[in-house]
Copies of this chain bind each other. A is one copy, B any other.
Amino acid sequence: MIQLDDLDRAILKLLKQDARLTISELAERLNRPESTIHFRIKKLIEKGVIDRYTIILGEPLKPKSVVAVYIETEIPVIEDFLEKYINHITKTLSMLPNVLAVAKSGRNGIMALIGGGETEEQIEKFVDDTIRTLPSLRRVEVFPFTSIVKGKDVIGFLVDV
């Protein structure tokens, strides 16, 4: 396990809120010399604690509604086929711009986060046309997101441009 002290954590917290903060702004806020802040950030990047810097996109680009969809395939007699079929579905879904995230779940499940236009009906139509038409599915369940309570920014993080 990596050892982080209070100063490391304070720097990470501030950069998570606003990664444009300069070394001198961080130094002032945390009441430490600039050289210390500079050294710590360098180390945090070297150790891979900070993976990279990015932007979060705002309201104008965010889908108006979001659902999680769980997909479960049947388990074929020849199991070798299963992995290839799961890979095929995840790859196909991943290529679609309104599919924000895709994860494999267990041996024969897939969880996808899907964004849509103004209404949930549009996502429902997408699910009907794109997902429910896939062969050999045992289960498709849609979980519409009414509101995001923790991790609100995740949609602006995931959305494609």
Write the residues of chain A forming the contact surface with B, with a CB cutoff of 8 angstroms.
1-2, 4, 9, 12-13, 15-20, 47-61, 66, 68, 70, 90-91, 93-94, 99-107, 109, 111, 113, 143-151, 153-154, 156-158, 161
The listed residue (B17, B18, B50, B102) touching A150 by CB distance below 8 A is B102
Residues of B within 8 A of A113 (CB): 151
Residue of B nearest to A91 (CB): B149
CA distance A121 to B55 in the complex (A): 34
- Copies of this chain, tallied across the complex: 2
The listed residue (B9, B90, B101, B106) touching A144 by CB distance below 8 A is B106
The listed residue (B58, B149, B151) touching A158 by CB distance below 8 A is B151
Q: How far is the CB of A156 from chain B (nearest CB, A)?
A: 5
Most buried by B among A9, A149, A154: A149
* B59 and A48 form a contact (CB under 8 A): yes
